[in-house]
Amino acid sequence: MTTGQHDSGGTRGLAAVMHTAFFLLLGASVARFLLRHPGEPRTPWVIALSIALALLYVLGPALGARPTARRLFWLGLVVATWVVLVLLAPSFAWCAVPLFYTALRTLPPRAAIALVALLTVFVVSAQLQLARQFDPNLLLAPPAVAALATAVFVHMERQATAQRALIDDLIRTRRELAATERREGTLAERQRLSMEIHDTLAQHLSSQQMLLQAADRTWDADPATARAHVRTATEIAARGLAEARRLVHDLAPRELDNGAQLPEALRALDAGPGITVRFHLEGTPVPLPDRTQSALLRIAQGALANVREHSGARAAALTLSFLGDQVVLDIADDGHGFAEAEARHPRAEDRGHGLPAIRARVRRLGGTLTIESAPGEGTVLSAALPLEPSP
């Protein structure tokens, strides 16, 4: 669970407590009024207003917490109904405590504090009307409760805002650090490859050139020496070819180093923060050629990159299936999807990346690529490769 989800859960928990407290206070106030004032002319009005206040309060969560026009109008109706109810029966004054929380969640801080102050004054007036003699507690307790509740709420909101800002800074810093590390890794790899090529292939090619030039100069005068130069150049060419193959092998996916198999590499993939990736294996795994493993891993990485950058998905699933004469990799997400015509006719600026690159990998190994998607229904990409790819 992310910190934002944790904060949202805490807010919902506090809201549930406040809603429960409101209805308990409202019910207790109704019961108190009916027990102390049975059969009075104002009783139907008190009951009707209590029901209206309860219904209005129930509508609140459906309007959200932001100060929209509808939310502000609803808050005004709730406060007005409560005020009339308190004028008829001062014992309903304590229902204001949950209303403090509602006002603080709905209004900007200054407006909310002003409304809380007005509600507190009204509560004090109502309590003094109920008292048979002056009681300092009735004058001081409501403001103290209101001040404490307001201070706690404002402090929690500030803490939550600061925490959200800190988390945003951390996420941004992590992304920048990851980008920097990728750039540095790319530069280091380019430097390593340039040194490898200079120290092996370039040297071999230079030696071959010198030997072949020497053979050309001595071919007529000393054929035996010339043929020796050609044989030596051939040996150097063979060593250069071996070095070239080694370099190509080093460019294979790092996830498949040290004997790692494709299912293990796929299980370790992720699509970035906020996206859950699950891996499923179906059928009995069989050994796959290195280029098939590399291609399927690159396809999965490319598909997850598309999921992260374009789909808006929250979850993705990788399924590797061994089906007798072929191996199938399915990548499914719950994103917003797209029209299949976009996959068949990508934009010019997208050629060579994303889906076109995946198609090229599948085509080189004699496989087939299937894409199923529709706007709002997610996407399923399926790459099927023969277990003995075409040369």
122-172 per-position pLDDT tens digit: 777 776 766 666 667 666 767 777 777 777 777 777 787 788 888 888 898
Question: Could you please report the per-residue DSSP string of 297-332?
Answer: HHHHHHHHHHIIIII--SEEEEEEEE-SSEEEEEEE
Tell me the mean pLDDT in the region 349-374.
78
Give the chain's domain count. 2
| pTM for the predicted model, two decimal places | 0.39
CATH number at residue 300: 3.30.565.10
Residue 120 predicted with pLDDT over 70: yes
User: What pLDDT, on a 0 to 100 scale, did the predictor assign at position 7?
Assistant: 45
Q: Are 256 and 290 in contact (CB under 8 A)?
A: yes
What is the C-alpha to C-alpha distance for residues 337 and 307, in angstroms, rounded to an integer? 10
Residue where a domain terminates, one of 130, 162, 180: 130
In a domain, 152, yes or no: no
User: What pLDDT, on a 0 to 100 scale, did the predictor assign at position 340?
Assistant: 59
Structure confidence by residue, pLDDT tens digits, 95-114:
777 777 777 777 777 787 88
Structure confidence by residue, pLDDT tens digits, 169-182:
889 888 888 888 88
Residue 319 or residue 245, greater confidence? 319
For residue 12, name the pLDDT band (cuts at 50, 70, 90): low
What is the C-alpha to C-alpha distance for residues 254 and 215, in angstroms, rounded to an integer? 43
User: What pLDDT, on a 0 to 100 scale, did the predictor assign at position 87?
Assistant: 82
In a domain, 171, yes or no: no
In a domain, 313, yes or no: yes
Percent of the chain residues past pLDDT 90, beyond the cut = 10
In a domain, 220, yes or no: no
In a domain, 153, yes or no: no
Q: How far is CA 95 from CA 17, 25, 54, 60, 130, in A?
A: 14, 6, 11, 16, 15
User: What pLDDT, on a 0 to 100 scale, did the predictor assign at position 317?
Assistant: 93
**What phi and psi, each to the nearest 5 degrees, are found at residue 282?**
-125, 140
Domain of 101 in residue numbering reads as 3-130
For residue 5, name the pLDDT band (cuts at 50, 70, 90): very low
In a domain, 251, yes or no: no
Strands 276-282 and 315-322: parallel
In a domain, 350, yes or no: yes
Structure confidence by residue, pLDDT tens digits, 194-217:
656 655 676 678 778 888 998 899
Residue where a domain terminates, one of 88, 106, 130: 130
Q: Two tokens at 163?
A: 């925490």
Residue where a domain terminates, one of 76, 110, 130: 130
Instruction: Give the up-direction half-sphere exposure of residue 109: CA atoms within 13 A in the CB hemisphere.
Output: 9
User: What pLDDT, on a 0 to 100 scale, did the predictor assign at position 350?
Assistant: 43
- Choice among 49-63, 285-299, 310-324, 355-369 with the minimum mean pLDDT: 49-63
Q: Are 318 and 269 in contact (CB under 8 A)?
A: yes
Residue 311 predicted with pLDDT over 90: no
Tell me the mean pLDDT in the region 298-302.
85
User: What pLDDT, on a 0 to 100 scale, did the predictor assign at position 232?
Assistant: 87
In a domain, 154, yes or no: no
What is the C-alpha to C-alpha distance for residues 235 and 202, in angstroms, rounded to an integer? 15
Strands 368-373 and 379-386: antiparallel
